[in-house]
Amino acid sequence: MRFVILDTETTGAGDADRVCQLAYLVADPTLVGTEVAEIHNTLCEPPVPIGYGAMAVHHITPEMVQGKLSCEKTEAFQRLLALNEPENYLVIQNAPFDLAMLEKEGFVSRMRLIDTLRCLRHLYPEEESHGLQYARYRFGLYKSEKAEAKKAGVKITAHDALGDVLVLKLLLDFLLQEHTPQKLAALTQEPIVYPVFRFGKYKGERVADVARKDPGYLEWMLSKEGEEALDEDWRHTLQKALEEAKEEAVWIMPFGKYKGQSIEEIASHDIGYLTWALEKMDKLSDGMKTAIRRVLEA
């Protein structure tokens, strides 16, 4: 069993973009963490131009990759294919991005996946960030990175694939102090429940509190489609919050002559309106309809 600790740099983040740097360490497990067994780091010439925004992040220019092999022809890529076995672990920070890029080059992982971004979100939900550079300082990884780099013969540069891989290796070692590889792989697959909103009008407030005082807002967010649609973890978070708060939730009429009043307030002086709204208002959400039925049946 080995850890393949990987990062890529790309021409951009769009559907047509491709890999222009592939870097990974192959590490063997030890009693105190991992030991680097192999280092792979290669620039490759992509079939599409490198975007200026991407260059501003990783500083890889067209001149640096001109004449290089394409990604799938490099020794690093061929070795990655040889390591692609179910007994190994593939370790990536924000895995969906890199895996999608590697798939364009012909690589589909058969390894067990550890996405450190997802692990951090599970294990440290209250942190303000779960990015790799934040973790570098938050967990004191920078204190040992020079010694680790010297030992492995790696130069540390932020946003360079190989430099990020070394920090990722230190993060993995940190996580392995208290969690098994199997646990980290399991966390990678589990839905994340976010405790606090990090965006929107309730930014900074606990999701459970918002679910009780304004469940309609959560339903509105869940109804978004296309580019505005929530990812699977946020959908899971909001659906779970709505389910747990259904007995306490205060449903506010979103439109009509009683807009802004709770269902209970309306029922106290015009319960017939709720009966009419249930039959005539097609725009009422499923949650609102359920809440109205509960009041009418009480």
Please tell me the distance from the alpha carbon of residue 214 to that of residue 218, in angstroms, as a whole number. Answer: 7
Strand order in the sheet with 3-10: 33-43, 19-30, 3-10, 89-92, 112-115
Let me know whether 281 and 243 are in one domain: no
Q: Are residues 101 and 49 in the same domain?
A: yes
Based on the fold, state whether residues 60 and 128 are members of the same structural domain.
yes
Residue type, 73: K
Instruction: Tell me: do 125 and 30 sit in the same domain.
Output: yes
> What value does the mean pLDDT take over residues 22-26?
96
Q: What's the domain count of the chain?
A: 3
Are 168 and 234 members of one domain? Answer: no
Domain of residue 157 covers 3-189
**132 and 91 share a domain?**
yes
Q: What is the reported pTM?
A: 0.85
Please tell me whether residues 144 and 95 are part of one structural domain: yes
In terms of domains, do 93 and 142 share one? yes
Cβ-proximal residues to 280 (8 Å cutoff; 6+ apart), any chain: none
Confidence grade of residue 245 (pLDDT, cut at 50, 70, 90): very high
Interaxial angle between packed helices 181-189 and 116-123, expressed in degrees from 0 to 180 and rounded to the nearest 10: 90
Residue 187 confidence (pLDDT) = 98
167 and 259 part of one domain: no
16 and 105 both lie in a single domain:
yes
| Contact in structure between 13 and 97 (CB atoms under 8 Å) | yes
pLDDT score for 194: 93
Residues 183 and 196 in one domain: no
The answer to whether residue 218 scores a pLDDT higher than 90 is: yes
Residue 116 sits in a domain whose CATH number is: 3.30.420.10
In the predicted structure, residue 34 carries a pLDDT above the cut 90: no
Q: Are residues 86 and 161 in the same domain?
A: yes
The pLDDT tens digits of the residues spanning 110-166 come to 999 999 999 999 999 989 899 999 999 999 999 999 999 988 887 776 667 898 999
- Mean pLDDT computed over every residue of the chain: 93
